[in-house]
Structure 1
């Protein structure tokens, strides 16, 4: 499997992947209306991905599957939080298709995105699969939480 930087040409496939993996990862943790609303904004999401991968400070990597179908992605870049002592690197996203759970793809995307560097991330409360994965990578909860429209997010840090 090939992990490579995302390009503007990946915007449509990234949108499909992002919509799919949210539904797979967050089923039972978010109301179905959130997934329906996200799907209804597909066209806008394609445009946002195209802009994000070509102009943003965040670097997005994708894992290619069969032609035109992505299996996962990771995004990382300068931290958006300014708490004292917080690492300057934030892992803003790491998702793989459910069919790839346990395959090592998530690990490979994480390593490609941030390596062994100090970083932080936000994980949705109740997302046990992600929490266990990040804890194996040395991330720990720091006690900070924020409420977002999709639910409560908890911050994890790796020093």
Structure 2
């Protein structure tokens, strides 16, 4: 397994992981009409168009490869949410590990890579939004995240709760041995 910075040519692999993760992780949370819009074709078009802009912009994308196949990715950058920006300057926008390779520590490695990147560009803290009671909550708590904020959101006419997890000290994720590879 290798974690590396994403390139503009990674759109197809990222799209595949994104769709498979969304369908596996959000069946009980998101309405079917929302999940049905997460198709390979839709995500491929979006990532092919958006990835070059995010790579040139302030977002950092990392991919997880296994035998030259992308099986995970994570994105991070400057905090976008004004409520959280008071306390957290960095944001983990998303972290996705294909269901076939979850539970092997790769999500943690992607998380750490984003935290290290944010710390390297002078962010001392970060936060992430997820749905309340989603399976990711226990993972985020395992990584030391603290639930710091809740809000209601409406998705396709359904009222859902979101919660933010925060990490106050990104220095804790900087390796002491300068090793960043798996």
Which category of TM-score, normalised to the shorter sequence, fits these structures? Answer: 0.7 to 0.9
Which stretch has the larger CA shift, 51-60 or 17-26?
51-60
Report the equivalent of 2:125.
118
Equivalent residue in structure 1 for 2:136, among 122, 130, 143: 130
Please give the TM-score of this superposition, normalised by the length of structure 1.
0.87
Residues 142-157 of structure 1: matches in 2 within 5 Å? 142-149=148-155, 151-157=160-166
| Pairwise CA distance, 1:107 | 0.6
| Pairwise CA distance, 1:95 | 1.0
Residues 5-154 of structure 1: matches in 2 within 5 Å? 5-39=5-39, 41-67=42-68, 69-83=69-83, 85-115=86-116, 117-127=124-134, 129-149=135-155, 151-154=160-163
| Pairwise CA distance, 1:43 | 4.5
Stretches of structure 1 that go unaligned for 5 or more consecutive residues are none
Residues 7, 53 of structure 1: 8 Å contact kept: no
Whole-angstrom distance in 1 between the partners of 2:100 and 2:89: 32
Please give the TM-score of this superposition, normalised by the length of structure 2.
0.77
Which stretch has the larger CA shift, 88-97 or 76-85?
76-85
Residues 59, 75 of structure 1: 8 Å contact kept: yes
Number of matched residues?
157
| Pairwise CA distance, 1:70 | 1.2
Stretches of structure 2 that go unaligned for 5 or more consecutive residues are 169-182
Which stretch has the larger CA shift, 31-40 or 42-51?
42-51
| Pairwise CA distance, 1:53 | 3.8
Find the structure with the greater CA-based Rg.
2
In structure 2, the CA distance between the partners of 1:148 and 1:86, relative to structure 1 (3 Å rule), is farther
| Pairwise CA distance, 1:148 | 4.5
